Amino acid sequence: MPLLKPALANAFLIVVVQSLADFSNPLVLGGNFDVLATQIYFYITGSQLDYQAASTLGAFLLLFSLLVFCIQYMWIGKRSYVTVSGKSYRGDVQPLPVTLVWSVIALLAVWIAFNALLYGSIFYGSFTVNWGVDYTLTLDNFIKLFGQGMSDGAWPSLLDTLLYAGIAAPITAAFGLLIAWVVVRQQFRGKKTIEFTTMLCFAVPGTVAGVSYILAFNSAPVYLTGTAAIVIISMVMRNVPVGIRAGIAGLGQIDKSLDEASLSLRAGSLRTITHILLPLLRPAILSALIYSFVRAITTVSAIVFLVTPDTRVATAYILNRVEDGEYGVAIAYGSILIVVMLAIIFLFDWLIGEARISRSKAKNQA
């Protein structure tokens, strides 16, 4: 457990900060219970139109994020968590206590049952005429979505979403890894400020971020409103903190002596990163890719302000169907997105497993 502190602390930071800025779940499920993110949304888009109040609540979100960041930093401390060094060592896998194993199994059983009920309802609802009104089984929802040709229905939004997410995910992982390398491996004043500043992307509600992008890129010299570029930029900036935290957690467990040995052999920083660090960080990079891709596909709050008829995305299409009362069509589209994302997750999980097997075989041969 002590060696897992960086990973646990980074997961804690991401989950808490992302929960603070979550918009879509409280908006749909919260009813009369407001949170900061939804209140900011109503201040901007509602009849109140109070930008000062929205800015004040946004400042509170940033303050809470700063507090969580400080707690995470103090928890990790300045201890070393290096587990990968230049020395060859193969550790033995120790069995966990039986009580702990059964406790984890019980928690997993509850989690699996909850998710089975949740996703089972989604898939069942996709085959009904109108969820909550008419539960007659039908395929009409899928015909409306994908039976009208590639240029109509849900096809344009699905293809655009996959394209934007496919572009944004590798940029997010690469950008996050580069910043993580600078923060962990380089010594200079203000690097903690850089680390925290990158996390602020999570703390700002997506609605506020979307409006900010419109105001920032709606005039010369940089006019991007209504283009695919602004959608991709939004996806990257919202998810790059995950790439950074994954890179920081991974680099925190790799001894700096590996970098120094590479540099002593006259390898440059770029060669050290590509030939030494990237192979060791492969699981962290792939995890960042998975998260970034999935989040790019499912993002709602910021994207809804940025899309146009020429830059349609899946979540905006689903939101429009919900507003029109076509719940069956919306749920059917959601089930398609779930299948697509599961396929991608299993693909990346298979790749990570292959990387682990390769490392295990290399150790056994050594």
Q: What is the CATH number of the domain that holds 62?
A: 1.10.3720.10
Query: Domain for residue 93, yes or no?
Result: no
Query: Domain for residue 60, yes or no?
Result: yes
Domain interval for residue 217: 2-81+126-365
Query: Domain for residue 110, yes or no?
Result: no
Tens of each residue's pLDDT in the chain, 366 residues? 666 777 777 777 778 777 777 777 777 676 677 788 778 777 776 666 677 787 788 778 778 877 877 787 777 765 655 555 544 455 566 787 899 899 999 999 999 999 999 889 999 989 988 777 788 889 999 998 988 778 778 889 999 999 999 999 999 988 888 888 888 877 778 777 877 777 667 667 677 777 778 778 877 777 888 889 999 999 998 888 878 878 887 887 787 778 778 878 877 777 877 788 888 888 788 888 888 888 889 887 778 778 888 888 998 888 888 778 788 888 899 999 999 888 888 887 777 655 554 444 445 454
Residues whose CB falls within 8 Å of the CB of residue 212, separated by 6 or more in sequence, listed in order = 204
Query: Domain for residue 92, yes or no?
Result: no
Query: Domain for residue 98, yes or no?
Result: no
Q: How far is Cα 329 from Cα 131, in angstroms, rounded to an integer?
A: 9
How much is the pLDDT for 3?
64
Query: Domain for residue 272, yes or no?
Result: yes
> Which tokens sit at 351?
């790749």
Q: In what helix (H) or strand (E) does residue 137 lie, and over which residues does it extend?
A: strand 134-137
Query: Domain for residue 89, yes or no?
Result: no
Query: What's the total number of domains in the chain?
Result: 1
Report pTM.
0.76
Residue 144 identity (one-letter amino acid) = K
**Burial class, 350, CB count within 10 angstroms (exposed 0-12 / middle 13-18 / buried 19+):** exposed
Query: Domain for residue 196, yes or no?
Result: yes
> Which tokens sit at 127?
């085959």
